[in-house]
Copies of this chain bind each other. A is one copy, B any other.
């Protein structure tokens, strides 16, 4: 990593920085609307209003509404990866697995619209781009590692595990939003789903 030590100043691209900041503003506004009215329950005009623009100006940053959804998809998985990487790995493998399961289910349950976009295939006509889809695979690798360390290294247990956690999240969101009726079952569920030793 010689860059960190190099004396040569990095030439900042102020134009690119400004553009990235605007893109972030638009994404935040879109997430907020999705949270309030559902993933599809808002027109682009409301995004524009939220960031103080007119609708056509949004097209400078996103080619279409689907393109905005694609950016949200990528953004969501980046956030999940961050959250996963920030999760402490100390303690027994079983403890780490429990911790990771809570992190995941909480991540899903705290934003139903994001859960829908990232894990359910429910948006009519939307397919993530190749680049965005590639991002979606990274958190899965992390989960597989943690699960394997706790004795669930086989493919079937991994699939069982993802089904279980998305199922807990989905039930929590659909049938007890804001509560913990399914979240409180996470540890029990994880323990039962591991292969008998």
Which A residues fall within an 8 A CB radius of B?
Answer: 37-41, 112, 116, 119-122, 124-125, 156, 159-160, 162-168, 170-171, 173-174, 181-182, 185, 188-189, 192-196
Contact = CB atoms under 8 A, between A and B. Distances in A.
Nearest to A113: B122
A168 B174 contact: no
20 contacts: A38-B124, A39-B124, A40-B40, A116-B120, A119-B174, A120-B174, A121-B174, A159-B171, A160-B185, A160-B189, A162-B167, A163-B167, A163-B170, A163-B182, A164-B167, A166-B170, A166-B171, A167-B168, A192-B193, A192-B196
Contacts of A160: 185, 188-189, 192
Contacts of A185: 156, 159-160, 163
Nearest to A174: B121
Given A160-B192, A170-B170, 14 more contacts: A38-B122, A38-B124, A38-B125, A39-B122, A40-B124, A41-B124, A112-B121, A121-B173, A122-B122, A156-B188, A159-B185, A160-B189, A163-B167, A167-B170
A119 to B, nearest CB: 7
